[in-house]
Structure 1
Amino acid sequence: MKLLKIAAGVVNQIPMAWEHNRRNIINAIEEAKSQDVSLLCLPELCITGYGCEDMFFSHELIEQAQQSLLDIVPHTGDIVVAVSLPLRLANNRTYDTACLIANKRILGFVCKQYLANNGIHYETRWFQPWQPGLRDEIQIGEFTYPVGDLLFDVSGVKIGFEICEDAWIANRPGRSLHDRGADIILNPSASHFSFFKSQVRERFVLDGSRAFGVSYIYCNLLGNESGRAIFDGDAFMASNGQLVASSPRFSYADHLIVTAVIDVDDTRLSQVQSKANPAGLFPNLRVQAPFNWPEATFVQPTAELEYWERGNHLKEEEFARAVALSLFDYLRKSHSYGFVLSLSGGADSSALAALVFLMIKLAEESIGIGGLKQKLSYIRGIQEFTTAEEICNALLTTMYQGTENSSTDTYESAESLAKSINATFYNININGLVETYTKLIEEQLGRKLSWDTDDLALQNIQARVRAPSAWLLTNVKNALLLATSNRSEAAVGYATMDGDTAGSISPIAGIDKQYLRQWLRWAETEGVGGHLKVTGLAKVNSLQPTAELRPLERNQTDEEDLMPYDVLNAIEKFGIRDKQSPKEVLQRLDVVFNGQYSREKLYLSVDRFFRLWSRNQWKRERYAPSFHLDDENLDPKTWCRFPILNSGFEKELRELKEYYEGNAGKGRKGKIGF
């Protein structure tokens, strides 16, 4: 047996924060060395941060990255380490690379071959893909190093790379590395979080280790790095198709190290038994270097899911943990002093209050109260607190802003939730402000505004009047204002610009209202990890969602204003995510709902959705930054681009009408009329 102790490291980085990023990397290396690790892999672009965007064009960024690399090298004594950074070669092209360092010596750079360029990723804007089978050189300081599609032979242990997207495509580089006799494949990644994505990563790690007869190390970035994308800190190690180690996800630590012991001879046996392994191929791509591999002691693999990943509520857990960690990182990386929330007592604002509370409790579980206070040490007075509840009172300020159209139910919902999590709670009445604005316009128009003629204007002014006081309080506290609009509202424009969309960040703009209501019930009754319950949500969970912008006797509800949430979600999924025409969407709804709603209701809902969608892109363009959660995201900056000025689907909606009228008697009548 040839036993090696290997490790995957995850780090929580910030774009272009050179000292911070370098310190995290060095600390991760030192921790790995303290655990007698021989080989450590760190995530993609960990030196610069992944989310540098157009600053990747900057010559200064490239120079700073190289200097950081040279500062890291002296800390790699007696260990082999992979770190990642962008390189600009003599052809004036920039490449996403992984650098292998052994015992204070740079061995070379492997370039990413396949660039992620869908949805949230835009890598082809900044980087050039490397062509397989090519090798070049680069001079850094006084020395010249090999660059390209390399395999490193480090005292007989052959190490290759698949960099993030390389492993997601069918013809992945691991096939070539297998043909060249690789023993270990490293995968430094910057793979954004989305629901259930960890399961996909685990599969390709296991499949790669089995198919290529190697030990495979995968490591991802951690935290909310640059504002929108969330990285869950996923790390896996597998050998010959067996998972040997995995990391905890959504940690609040700056770095984590996950270790395992592998048997190189065991994976070589798999390759010996393979009949298709011409290991002598591409000798010019092999880089040889000496290293004294210390013999490790065999350790039984202990890879298993975390306790919260084993239950039946993985999406609920991932939503809570991903958004909570993102809020924490956004808070500390923007050096803000807390959050301000206009707490209406409804589902959206209540969810945000619960998530801030969970942020604090999960941080306490992850790094302790001391670690939490250390990370927020810039906030005055934070060191005086000893409990999560005290910290919540300092970090979360809520304000109920009622009008004559607000009900006792929503006030009690807001107050009981704020008290249950010990958030600061204010209650102000804005009816006088609404009346002042209304009278100013009535005087200019020379007539009274009424609900019969000016319904939308009278609703919107109430929502907008809430924003200035919320912003004032936010500025006074040097805090972040949380916008409360969700994805269902964004899809159809059911949101007041400069009202419920006002905010520094929009944490729930990536999640639909139907799911959010389900999550709130789960958070109250079952809770994160089965023990972090937000019992103060009981009141909001008993209420029907309403904007409370019309007089109470009109019994306004969100679904009556729009359409049933399950129908809205289905239309959004088929029409926007899957890019189907309105007619095709209606055909899909007929099958999905199978008589639950009348065909007329489905037709009118499709027609209304596409009309509202096409005229409200300008609203989606103005939303505060939101967190990416799944492939149904509507954020126009990172996922779903749509023209502000467009046809309004005029031709497509005529075809929809013709199809509906031509088939009016053929569908089920359904149980519920419009």
Structure 2
Amino acid sequence: MGRKIIIASSTLNQWALDFDGNRERILQSILEAKELGATFRTGPELEICGYSCEDHFYESDTFLHSWEVLLELLTAPLCKDILIDVGMPVMHKNVAYNCRVIFLNQKILLIRPKLLTCDDGNYRESRWFSWWKKIRETEDHYLPRIISNITKQEVVPFGDAVIATRDTCIGFEICEELWNPMSSHIGMALDGVEIICNSSGSYTELRKAYITVDLVKSATLKAKGCYVFSNLRGCDGQRVYFNGCSCIAVNGDIVSRAKQFSLEEVEVIAGTIDLEDIRTQRNHARSLAHLSSGSPSYKRIFVDFSLCPSHDTVLNYSVPIDWYYLKPEEEIAQGPACWLWDYLRRSGQGGFFLPLSGGVDSTSTALIVYSMCKMVTKYVQIGDGRVLAEVRKICGSPEYIPKSASELCNRILVTCYMGTENSSKETKERASLLAAAIGSYHMHITIDKAVTTCLEVFSVVTGFFPKYESKGGCPRQNLALQNIQARLRMVFSYLFAQLVLWTRNRPGGLLVLGSANVDESLRGYMTKYDCSSADINPIGGISKTDLRRFLHYCREKFAIPIVDDILKAPPTAELEPLIQGQLAQTDEEDMGMTYSELSEYGKLRKMHHCGPYSMYCKLVQTWSKNFTPAEIAEKVKHFFRCYAINRHKMTVITPAYHAESYSPDDNRFDLRPFLYRANWSWQFRAIDKQKDHYESMKRKSSSVECMKKNPVSKCRAAVPV
């Protein structure tokens, strides 16, 4: 019996319905696994068709083409003499399942369906897939003719089983099964399964990478054994960015890991596992051994194949490693940058167009693009031919080699300061200095003539000419005058995005980047169809607080001094007339709440599932040192009024990189109505009642304290009559 085996976990940047590209990446991962000496290769969830096919899973074509790709894998000479585990959708008895298909030397050994679907956050798996409920049971699955002609198998086992080789036993979980409290890896470990694989499509959120790692480690800490986690990476056609972080754990320790963010489409890690370490650890854990002796058995599908090479005794086994977790600002610098790169190279466009205001939000967006250019240039310099080929395609130059991030940024990022009579010299200067620092192709335009023309048309038709509130107009006029500026900036953005490359003698167009942060979206502090309306938005899921932290990081990392001035400047829309050359409005004054308060509202509303009353009851405790119950009540009411009247804006918000767990994204993550009763009459009455109760209790408490310290006669005035 052998002792040591080499197993490989693949991280793939797949693309929904890109069957050609997905097949090539799978084959590349198998090649790299074999080069590492692995005899077993596993990959991420639904890797053949791509995870985010969504309603394409209702189409028979998706299942057919997945089988066709599997056929090419089965017959590929590269796949000989290595046990392979791939993910694809399978229809069994007219029911669709999310499955793993395990094969060896043109024989399918097992089709293992997912036991639990994921339906929270951005996931809606049960919309397309059912889960397998027959635990530890299998049925015959009749193979398509195109497969059975090659494998000479009419039926194969379908269900909850494990694979037994000559030297070990392998079990399988799929994504959500690891997160569930009734994870099947415990039962498999008790039944002697030594290697458990999890194929996942887990997306990134700020500060959440540790969760997966902790789950993988704990999966083998109590029950011992080896756990192989394989995850997708990249943007496969949706707002989410899959997290990478594939890893291998043995007896509670990580022994191999993949990167979280990377431009590599294929990354394969391997671990050399000493099976005797697993066996001795399990036997030493006596309570585990006693439970195992009475554990129900899984059906074992035996394959006459050894995972241990003949020279296994001279192999060095993998030792525990430390895991460095990226700070939130590092995650912002890398995650959205990789997301933008995937979107840019797959969209066929020639770069990005960004309205650059000189504020925190648009500056953050520009610096994320610059960070992307840094990453791309680094990969080109280390000899990544695929990245170089994509750069040349994007830039429309077959001989181009980027010499620096700034040079590349000048080719693929166009920034534009769109000023009006309400804009200050300071914001214009900050935008220019930032553009110079990162190398973007920068211009500035004045749109006052366009604004005036629109207002003249209105005046000719109606006979009225609106005024700003500071000049005698009413609030309605004031808001309309601000909105026309913001919407015209969107119109000019798309005009320039379509034609700027033409003026630079280059083919194609540009993707317009939005720069509204998650807090402003939650509050609805934006004009519908203004310059926040764009093709994609890399910061739409990131809070203002985190963006400021990110800018501090960029100031040091990229050595850009102008960032200091941008951070010091008060956030402002600059849509109202200046007063003696100075700003007349700031964002927080306009919103009636601070950005830190907005983050708190967002977390309570989404993560803690609070309505108005529940939110008030929580905040009246956490904010009691700074505000009275009445002040907190008014703050909560103000937020929910603003939320209600602006919720409709989320139906057209620019698709944004998902990063924050309280995102109000209407597409899938936050399924709430967009038409509300804005006065929340019942809910607000409940708040008022609770507020009165708190204030009454506070008065009574104050009276008691007074009576303790002073004679009764002196406290009469404090006692409510």
TM-score by length of 1: 0.93
1:558 pairs with 2:566: no
Match of residue 208, structure 2, among 197, 204, 209: 197
After superposition, what is the alpha-carbon deviation per residue over 1:83-126, rounded to whole angstroms, capped at 9, x for unaligned? 1111001x210111111122443211111101101110000011
Q: Please tell me whether the aligned partners of residues 602 and 663 of structure 2 are also in contact (alpha carbons under 8 angstroms).
A: no
Q: Distance in 2 between matches of 1:304 and 1:112?
A: 30
1:466 pairs with 2:489: yes
Match of residue 401, structure 1, among 390, 410, 418: 418
Question: Cα–Cα, structure 1 residues 382 and 321, in superposed 2: closer, same or farther, change >3 Å?
Answer: farther
Q: Distance in 2 between matches of 1:127 and 1:121?
A: 12
Match of residue 289, structure 1, among 288, 303, 308: 303
After superposition, what is the alpha-carbon deviation per residue over 1:273-308, rounded to whole angstroms, capped at 9, x for unaligned? 41121488446x2111111331434335355456xx
The corresponding residue for 1:381 is 397
The corresponding residue for 1:37 is 38
User: Superposition pairs for residues 441-520 of structure 1, below 5 Å?
Assistant: 441-452=458-469, 453=474, 454-476=477-499, 477=501, 478-520=509-551
Question: Cα–Cα, structure 1 residues 35 and 95, in superposed 2: closer, same or farther, change >3 Å?
Answer: same
Q: Matched residue of 2:32: which SS?
A: helix
Q: Matched residue of 1:378: which SS?
A: helix
Q: Please tell me whether the aligned partners of residues 493 and 531 of structure 2 are also in contact (alpha carbons under 8 angstroms).
A: no
Computed over aligned residues only, the root mean square deviation of the Cα atoms, in angstroms, reads: 2.1
Q: Matched residue of 2:570: which SS?
A: coil
1:539 pairs with 2:565: yes
Question: Cα–Cα, structure 1 residues 99 and 326, in superposed 2: closer, same or farther, change >3 Å?
Answer: same
Q: Please tell me whether the aligned partners of residues 246 and 303 of structure 1 are also in contact (alpha carbons under 8 angstroms).
A: no
The corresponding residue for 1:95 is 97
AA aligned to 1:242 is: D
Q: Distance in 1 between matches of 2:428 and 2:340?
A: 25
The corresponding residue for 1:605 is 635
Q: Distance in 1 between matches of 2:89 and 2:410?
A: 43
Q: Which runs of 5+ in 1 are unaligned?
A: 669-674
Q: Please tell me whether the aligned partners of residues 345 and 413 of structure 1 are also in contact (alpha carbons under 8 angstroms).
A: yes
Q: Distance in 2 between matches of 1:667 and 1:636?
A: 41
After superposition, what is the alpha-carbon deviation per residue over 1:549-577, rounded to whole angstroms, capped at 9, x for unaligned? 01112620001111111112212221343
Superposition deviation, residue 418 in structure 1? 0.6
The corresponding residue for 2:506 is none
Question: Cα–Cα, structure 1 residues 191 and 67, in superposed 2: closer, same or farther, change >3 Å?
Answer: same
After superposition, what is the alpha-carbon deviation per residue over 1:362-382, rounded to whole angstroms, capped at 9, x for unaligned? 233345475332233422026
Question: Cα–Cα, structure 1 residues 153 and 662, in superposed 2: closer, same or farther, change >3 Å?
Answer: closer
The corresponding residue for 1:275 is 290
Q: Which runs of 5+ in 2 are unaligned?
A: 502-508, 700-721
1:46 pairs with 2:59: no
Q: Please tell me whether the aligned partners of residues 165 and 302 of structure 2 are also in contact (alpha carbons under 8 angstroms).
A: yes
1:336 pairs with 2:365: no
User: Superposition pairs for residues 29-428 of structure 1, below 5 Å?
Assistant: 29-73=30-74, 74=76, 75-89=78-92, 91-131=93-133, 132-138=135-141, 139-140=143-144, 141-142=147-148, 143=153, 144-273=155-284, 274-278=289-293, 281-282=296-297, 285-293=299-307, 294=309, 295-296=311-312, 297-299=314-316, 301=318, 304-305=321-322, 309=324, 314-366=327-379, 368=381, 371=384, 372-379=387-394, 380-381=396-397, 383-387=399-403, 388-428=405-445
Question: Cα–Cα, structure 1 residues 348 and 270, in superposed 2: closer, same or farther, change >3 Å?
Answer: same
Q: Please tell me whether the aligned partners of residues 180 and 282 of structure 1 are also in contact (alpha carbons under 8 angstroms).
A: yes
Question: Cα–Cα, structure 1 residues 643 and 320, in superposed 2: closer, same or farther, change >3 Å?
Answer: same
AA aligned to 1:381 is: S
User: Superposition pairs for residues 2-17 of structure 1, below 5 Å?
Assistant: 2-17=3-18
Q: Distance in 2 between matches of 1:522 and 1:601?
A: 36
AA aligned to 2:267 is: L
Q: Distance in 1 between matches of 2:29 and 2:616?
A: 53
Superposition deviation, residue 272 in structure 1? 3.4
After superposition, what is the alpha-carbon deviation per residue over 1:55-101, rounded to whole angstroms, capped at 9, x for unaligned? 01111110110110111123321212211111001x21011111112
Deviating more after overlay: 347-356 vs 292-301? 292-301
Q: Please tell me whether the aligned partners of residues 89 and 99 of structure 2 are also in contact (alpha carbons under 8 angstroms).
A: yes
Q: Please tell me whether the aligned partners of residues 328 and 546 of structure 2 are also in contact (alpha carbons under 8 angstroms).
A: no
Identity %: 29
Superposition deviation, residue 157 in structure 1? 1.5
Superposition deviation, residue 522 in structure 1? 2.5
Q: Distance in 2 between matches of 1:304 and 1:542?
A: 41
Deviating more after overlay: 432-441 vs 136-145? 136-145
Deviating more after overlay: 6-15 vs 600-609? 600-609
Q: Distance in 1 between matches of 2:398 and 2:340?
A: 17
Q: Please tell me whether the aligned partners of residues 4 and 317 of structure 2 are also in contact (alpha carbons under 8 angstroms).
A: no
Q: Matched residue of 1:596: which SS?
A: coil
AA aligned to 2:568 is: S
AA aligned to 1:63 is: L
After superposition, what is the alpha-carbon deviation per residue over 1:200-241, rounded to whole angstroms, capped at 9, x for unaligned? 111111111232321110011011112211112111111111
TM-score by length of 2: 0.87
Q: Please tell me whether the aligned partners of residues 330 and 550 of structure 2 are also in contact (alpha carbons under 8 angstroms).
A: no
Q: Distance in 1 between matches of 2:688 and 2:264?
A: 56
AA aligned to 1:106 is: I
Deviating more after overlay: 99-108 vs 247-256? 99-108
Superposition deviation, residue 494 in structure 1? 0.8
Superposition deviation, residue 446 in structure 1? 1.6
Q: Distance in 2 between matches of 1:369 and 1:271?
A: 44
Q: Distance in 2 between matches of 1:281 and 1:588?
A: 46
Q: Matched residue of 2:639: which SS?
A: helix
The corresponding residue for 1:644 is 674
Q: Distance in 1 between matches of 2:327 and 2:572?
A: 29
Question: Cα–Cα, structure 1 residues 376 and 384, in superposed 2: closer, same or farther, change >3 Å?
Answer: closer
AA aligned to 2:138 is: R
Larger-gyration structure (1/2): 2
After superposition, what is the alpha-carbon deviation per residue over 1:109-159, rounded to whole angstroms, capped at 9, x for unaligned? 111101101110000011110121221122132222211101101223110
Q: Distance in 2 between matches of 1:137 and 1:377?
A: 50
Superposition deviation, residue 631 in structure 1? 1.6
Deviating more after overlay: 136-145 vs 35-44? 136-145
1:572 pairs with 2:602: yes
Q: Please tell me whether the aligned partners of residues 511 and 535 of structure 2 are also in contact (alpha carbons under 8 angstroms).
A: yes
AA aligned to 2:175 is: C
Superposition deviation, residue 666 in structure 1? 6.7
Deviating more after overlay: 442-451 vs 27-36? 442-451
The corresponding residue for 2:712 is none
Superposition deviation, residue 512 in structure 1? 1.8
Q: Distance in 2 between matches of 1:662 and 1:49?
A: 55
Superposition deviation, residue 605 in structure 1? 2.2
AA aligned to 1:462 is: Q
Q: Distance in 1 between matches of 2:399 and 2:568?
A: 38
Question: Cα–Cα, structure 1 residues 639 and 550, in superposed 2: closer, same or farther, change >3 Å?
Answer: same
Q: Distance in 1 between matches of 2:179 and 2:373?
A: 35
Aligned length: 657
Q: Matched residue of 2:139: which SS?
A: strand
Q: Distance in 1 between matches of 2:333 and 2:6?
A: 34
